[in-house]
Chains A and B, each alone.
Chain A
Amino acid sequence: MTASIEIRRVSKRFGDFTALDDVSLALPGGGFFTLLGPSGCGKTTLLRLIAGFEYPTEGAILLDGADIAAMPPNRRPVNTVFQSYALFPHMTVADNIAFGLEMLDRPRTEVRATVAEMLALVKMEALARRRPAQLSGGQQQRVALARALAPKPKVLLLDEPLSALDLKLRKEMQSELKRLQRETGVTFVFVTHDQEEALTMSDAVAVMSAGRVLQVGAPRDIYAHPADRFVAGFIGETNFLEGRVAGMDGPLVRVALDGGGTVTAAARAEPPATGARTTLAVRPEHVALTDADAPGALTGAVSEIVYVGPETHAHLTLDAGPTLLVRLPNRGDGAAEPRPGDRLGALIRPGIAQMLKD
């Protein structure tokens, strides 16, 4: 049931525009896989290539080892949940769900049983005889899911299916999608530009930009160890610190920051050359504020305090030049909050800053 997809050196050009530039990706079967990137990064194009709505200019798309790149969409065991749902307006909910099975010429009894099963799966039994126009956005979403899952595809493609829903419904549908993926075991390929959605739902994420895949990994890896500046900036908030490699400290790298101060950071795979310029990424919640004279702290003055509810954001302008964003959780224990103008130190634990690819 679980099917793996391999994208092998795929490029897609529309005239002069390169939508995908030599993309290679291996999606293991049976997981929740997310293509994440800003609009225009090529993620939807990649999805359409897997679905068969477009054909690659170069490269191969392998489903369980067989190249399907030139196969028309109606021959691929792959179904799609569209961003606008694309439900058939002249058919009832049940007829929409039955459509794929009927096109596969499944026996009538099987069609009826599967439709009932799917209606139950998405909890839409009561509305089976309604038309799409009589449903809310969330209900239409469920029907679109049921319709795409009914033929038991090897791979389910989801093209930003949650973007049209309001925040509360979106949260609900996120866990609903996770549940459906677990229960059906179908490989989900999910496209989104919402990094939070990608982190919370996925087993693996591919971050894309300008037609290329920049990094593939589990949400934790991508967040904790972003490969480059784009990934670090696109996923969550990040402080960037510039400096030069001063030397090794076991597996870690000592980096002398421009303007003073040293941070011990996690290295990338290849050991860096001493003296090389480098950029470090530090997550705002990984920085601790201490007294200005604490050993090893980067010193600076608080320039701004922003209260956002669960946490307070402190902007610390370092003596070395850059401003650090620091997230302080509001635990409600009455701890004194820093105030603008306070002189404080910022502690960055060894190994928590990540050295980026240039």
Chain B
Amino acid sequence: MADAPMRRTRPFSVTAMPGFATVAAATILCLYAPILVVVAYSFNAGASIQVWEGFSLRWYAVAWDNGAVQDATARSLALAASASAIATTLATMAAVATARGRFRGRTAVYVAINQPLMAPEIVTAVALLIVFAQVKLITGVQGLGYLIAAHAAFCIPFAYLPIRARLKGLDPLLETAAADLYATPWRTFRRITLPLMGPGIAAGAMLAFVISLDDVIITEFVKSAGQDTLPTYMLGQLRRAMTPEINAISTALLGATLVLLTCFFLLTRTRDN
């Protein structure tokens, strides 16, 4: 083999293909240009979302003073906070069970937990609409609880995945060592497993919060009259004359999401040290 002719073979790399840089630049432009336009026009002094009339924070003030926006924002935050808290708690329990427990049908459980990622959202939305309508009819109970339950359900897989990943990377020998040092299973969980899962849980909670915050479809189907969240309020506004107010709200929502997602990436980045 030694005297076979040397042929330079480079491993295939997409970055070496002709036109790679052009395609990449065009893709990034297509992805971000519309968002940049929305952000830019949120600072428009005029009432148009297409004609630039100078810089102003006018529309932020308008949105801030809009009672409907305030109401929807408060509801969105309360909904996201409750739903992500519930989803994170359930996801933590599910992660401990699937990563540590040994029982039959673990794969089935895994699939069931992640079902909301696969099922078309519109199907879930219709199903929830029908079920909740029945429940409301029979019990007569109204309120935000239906939205919280619906949001918690589809947030579970988003909370579950980072928590499970963190738990998978956790050396089970630490739990053995705690048991060796007289810790009962519950105290082992409280003092060792839970604190070490902390960053994963925080990341899961943030992801769930963001997912709940910008959900439209399920919310639109499940909400009762007067239960607008920020995204469904915006959807409603689009049917009327559009002003840069909608851009201002979008930009604020984008900013909040970016902050949370940055925290998420910092938390899920490589482990301690």
Contacts and interface: CB of A to CB of B under 8 A. Distances in A.
Interface residues of A, number: 24
Interface in A276-309: none
A80 to B, nearest CB: 5
B179 interface: yes
B180 A133 contact: no
Contact of A74 (B171, B182, B272, B273): B182
B195 to A, nearest CB: 5
A99 B179 contact: no
A86 B181 contact: no
Interface in B116-157: none
A106 to B, nearest CB: 10
Interface residues of B, number: 19
Interface in B142-201: 171, 173-174, 176-184, 187, 191-192, 195-196
A100 interface: yes
A207 to B, nearest CB: 26
Contacts of B176: 53, 73, 82, 86
B182 A151 contact: yes
A93 B177 CA distance: 15
Nearest to B176: A53
A63 to B, nearest CB: 15
Contacts of B195: 90
Interface string A140-175: 000000011001000000000000000000000000
A104 interface: yes
Nearest to B184: A74
A89 B181 contact: no
B178 A99 contact: yes
Contacts of A100: 181-182
B182 A86 contact: no
A103 interface: yes
A226 B71 CA distance: 86
A37 to B, nearest CB: 22
A24 interface: no
A230 interface: no
A349 B195 CA distance: 66
A80 B174 CA distance: 12
Contacts of A88: 174, 177-178, 192
In the complex, which of the residues B180, B187, B192 has the most CB atoms of chain A within 10 Å of its own CB atom? B180
A73 B176 CA distance: 9
B177 A80 contact: yes
Contacts of B171: 84, 86
B111 to A, nearest CB: 28
A51 interface: yes
B180 A90 contact: no
Interface in B214-273: 272-273
A51 B180 contact: yes
Given A53-B176, A80-B177, A74 B183 contact: yes
Interface in A36-51: 51
A79 interface: yes
A73 B174 CA distance: 13
B146 to A, nearest CB: 39
B177 A82 contact: yes
Contacts of B173: 82, 84, 86
Nearest to A147: B181
A90 B178 CA distance: 13
A72 interface: yes
A86 B272 contact: no
A148 B176 CA distance: 13
Given A86-B171, A89-B272, A99 B191 contact: yes
Contacts of A80: 177, 180
In the complex, which of the residues B171, B179, B191, B195 has the most CB atoms of chain A within 10 Å of its own CB atom? B179
Contacts of B272: 89, 133
Interface in A104-154: 104, 133, 147-148, 151
Contacts of B192: 88
A315 to B, nearest CB: 37
A147 B182 CA distance: 12
A74 B191 contact: no
A92 to B, nearest CB: 13
B151 to A, nearest CB: 31
A180 to B, nearest CB: 18
Contact of A99 (B181, B196, B273): B181
A51 B177 CA distance: 10
A100 B184 CA distance: 11
Given A74-B179, A99-B191, A103-B187, A86 B174 contact: yes
Contacts of A51: 180
Given A74-B182, A74-B184, A133-B272, A86 B177 contact: yes
29 contacts: A52-B179, A52-B180, A53-B176, A53-B180, A73-B176, A73-B180, A74-B181, A78-B180, A79-B180, A79-B181, A80-B177, A82-B177, A86-B171, A86-B173, A88-B178, A88-B192, A90-B195, A90-B196, A99-B178, A100-B181, A100-B182, A103-B182, A103-B183, A103-B187, A104-B182, A133-B272, A133-B273, A148-B180, A148-B181
4 nearest A-B residue pairs (beta carbon): A100-B181, A103-B182, A86-B177, A73-B179
Interface of B: 171, 173-174, 176-184, 187, 191-192, 195-196, 272-273
